[in-house]
Structure 1
């Protein structure tokens, strides 16, 4: 169970590391994130930038807590992650139910609109965080270096994959009408 807890720290930690840095690395990424919050029409426009800063700060705190190798910080990181993911799920559901076409700027520059896929992803990640709490609270035994390495690499790769899922799914969406279709053969006659 302790290797699972380490792997889950890396899954959730990678998701929140990529999420927070994705909002900071480009010149306009934080502004685009704030604009996506405005486009959701859930908070007054005057509160948008403050809320964007709070979300970003909570995401930064989450991965930092999970990266600190103590049981207390691990539990705190998982609890904050589960709480954030629960709130994010509610937001996605509200946005989708209203029919609002706000972009999911969860990981930075994506233009994919929010939809059920993001809500399902958040619910699964929240469940992973809850399992992480349980695993972290389980009595620890001696750790093998190889086991820790496998847990860290596997968890990190899975976290990176989760952050790329929207883009991966978009690759397999049907192309727009007329684009990518084969031309009709010329009429004979």
Structure 2
């Protein structure tokens, strides 16, 4: 389970770092992110700016917590990530059920509307966060080489999850 924890830490650090960078990389990216929350219409419009800030603060906290090499920090990071991903999944489900064509600005500017593939991605990520949480609660010894392999695996998975829209487009029939 320790290697699941290591892979999960690097997956979440990579994924949330890319998501955060996409949101705060410039005024246009930030405005697009805030507007996408507004268009989702899952919270009161007056709360949208605060929600955008809260999301970025929570994503930053996940990144920091999963990168701190202390068991309690990893556990807290996995729990926070699971809560955040659960909230994202609920919002995506609400938008999808309404059939609203709201672009996904999860990783920066995009024209891809939120849909079932985003719900699938969030379910996979939520499962990964919960597996990492379980792994963080198990004591055991680490082999440095296997930990490095698990970490690289997790980081690559994080990169792939961040490019989920592109991966879905590859397998969709035209």
Q: Give the TM bin, normalised by the shorter chain.
A: over 0.9
Structure 1 counterpart of 2:56: 56
Q: Which has the larger radius of gyration?
A: 1
Contact 2:121 2:164 in 1 (8 A): no
Structure 2 counterpart of 1:9: 9
- The count of aligned residue pairs is 174
Q: RMSD across aligned C-alpha pairs, in angstroms?
A: 1.4
Structure 1 distance, partners of 2:102, 2:155, is 28
Q: Which has the higher helix share?
A: 2
Structure 2 SS opposite 1:108 = coil
- Post-superposition Cα deviations, 1:14-65, rounded to whole Å, max 9, x if no partner, equal 1111111110113311110000001112223222111111111111111110
Structure 1 distance, partners of 2:100, 2:147, is 43
Task: Name the TM-score, length of structure 2 as normaliser.
Answer: 0.94
Higher relative contact order (CA 8 A, sep 6+): 2
- Post-superposition Cα deviations, 1:164-184, rounded to whole Å, max 9, x if no partner, equal 010232345555xxxxxxxxx
How far 1:87 moved relative to its partner? 0.7
Contact 2:62 2:77 in 1 (8 A): yes
Structure 2 unaligned blocks of 5 or more: none
Structure 2 distance, partners of 1:120, 1:129, is 14
Q: 1:78 to 1:111 in 2, by over 3 A?
A: same
Structure 2 counterpart of 1:150: 149
1:118-157 alignment runs, 5 A limit? 118-141=118-141, 143-157=142-156
Structure 1 unaligned blocks of 5 or more: 176-189
